[in-house]
Structure 1
Amino acid sequence: MGQPERRMQFAKNVKMLDWLKTELLDQVSNLFKGLYHANQHLMIEAIASLLICIYVLGRRVGFTYREVDQVVTEKLRDHSREGHQLERWYGDLSTLEEYMNKR
């Protein structure tokens, strides 16, 4: 790949990262709007879009989807063991870890 092509690819990657960052903010805003209006459709759409953005952002900065999943699973396990409040009160972390391990 020549120098102009490399510069073009670099600019394209920077632009995509910027777009992903703004998409994350936009979807967080949509999630908050959905919560405020108790709009389940808007909430689930925003949550799904956030998950997609996070995975793609991770890939764009050099991580595989599997690496992201592995680190998430490790964090869930660690937080569960440490007695994180979400785990103590609701069991959310171990439930999510179980779900991720079954995928």
Structure 2
Amino acid sequence: MTPNSEREVDLAKRAKIIEWLKTELVDQMAHLLKGIWEGSHHKIVDGLASLISCCYILGRRLGVSYRSLDEAVLDKMKKHREDGHQLEDWYGDISALEDHLRKR
């Protein structure tokens, strides 16, 4: 195999994996929603864990490091908190997530 054809195969493989991860996101969202509908704590936790891990891996495949994704989530939570997001005002969810991420 020539270097050029190896590069083309690698590019096709990377594109295929990204497409597969996108379908996994949809599939896991359906799994989560079904778990919510059924009231199954196990399915809810499993669906959320699958979505989160899939997002991290998709980000990595797209060139986003885990650390930069974590930092972006923290930045987003900080902005939401500063903007008076309703979830923060009513439940303190935004600052709770910020605290959780900072303590990891």
TM-score bracket, shorter-length normalisation: over 0.9
Q: How does 1:1-103 map to 2 (within 5 A)?
A: 2-103=3-104
Q: Which runs of 4+ in 1 moved over 3 A?
A: none
TM-fit CA distance, 1:49 = 0.4
C-alpha separation between the residues in 2 aligned to 1:93 and 1:42?
Answer: 24
> Any unmatched runs of 5+ in structure 2?
none
SS at match of 2:88: helix
Write out per-residue CA displacement over residues 40-64 of structure 1, whole angstroms, 9 at most, x where no aligned residue. 1111001000011000010001010
Aligned residue pairs, count:
103
> Any unmatched runs of 5+ in structure 1?
none
C-alpha separation between the residues in 1 aligned to 2:33 and 2:64?
Answer: 28
TM-fit CA distance, 1:36 = 0.3
The TM-score, its normalising length taken from structure 1, stands at: 0.98
SS at match of 1:63: coil
TM-fit CA distance, 1:21 = 0.3
How high is the sequence identity, in percent, across the aligned residues?
Answer: 46
C-alpha separation between the residues in 2 aligned to 1:90 and 1:32?
Answer: 22
TM-fit CA distance, 1:65 = 0.1
The TM-score, its normalising length taken from structure 2, stands at: 0.97
